[in-house]
């Protein structure tokens, strides 16, 4: 039985366009004037995560100290680590 609702629909096998995309090459370099940012989130828990967070720290040693202290106080062993850095893009050429 023909579909009377789609009589005005365009054919799917019509002409197809061809698209070309160029690539833009960029190199990223860490900003030497900006401090990196480290954070840890305690994800220990069966029904829900503990949720304790280290806040923003600027060295891996500070982060490890916070994790060690939280672990010693609570016995929690699972953490999610986030590392952020400011990057500078050095544009390349279109290819």
Tens-digit pLDDT profile for the chain (95 aa)? 555 555 555 555 556 777 666 666 778 888 889 999 999 999 999 899 999 999 999 999 999 999 999 999 999 999 999 999 998 888 775 55
Q: Which domain, by its residues, includes 94?
A: 36-95
Q: Structure pTM?
A: 0.64
How many independent structural domains does the chain possess? 1
Looking at residue 89, its pLDDT comes to 83
Give the pairing of strands 24-30 and 87-94.
antiparallel
Beta strands in 1-95 (DSSP E): 24-30, 37-42, 79-84, 87-94
Residue 25 lies in a domain: no
In angstroms, the CA 12 to CA 44 distance is 52
Looking at residue 15, its pLDDT comes to 66
Residue 18 lies in a domain: no
């Amino acid at each position: 039985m023909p579909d009377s609702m789609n009589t005005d629909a365009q054919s799917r096998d019509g002409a197809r366009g061809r698209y070309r995309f160029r690539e833009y090459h960029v190199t990223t370099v860490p900003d030497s004037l900006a401090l990196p940012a480290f954070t840890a989130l305690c994800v220990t828990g069966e029904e829900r995560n503990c949720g304790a967070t280290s806040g923003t720290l600027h060295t891996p040693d500070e982060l490890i100290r916070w994790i060690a202290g939280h672990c010693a106080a609570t016995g929690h062993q699972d953490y999610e680590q986030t590392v952020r850095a400011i990057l500078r893009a050095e544009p390349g050429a279109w290819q």
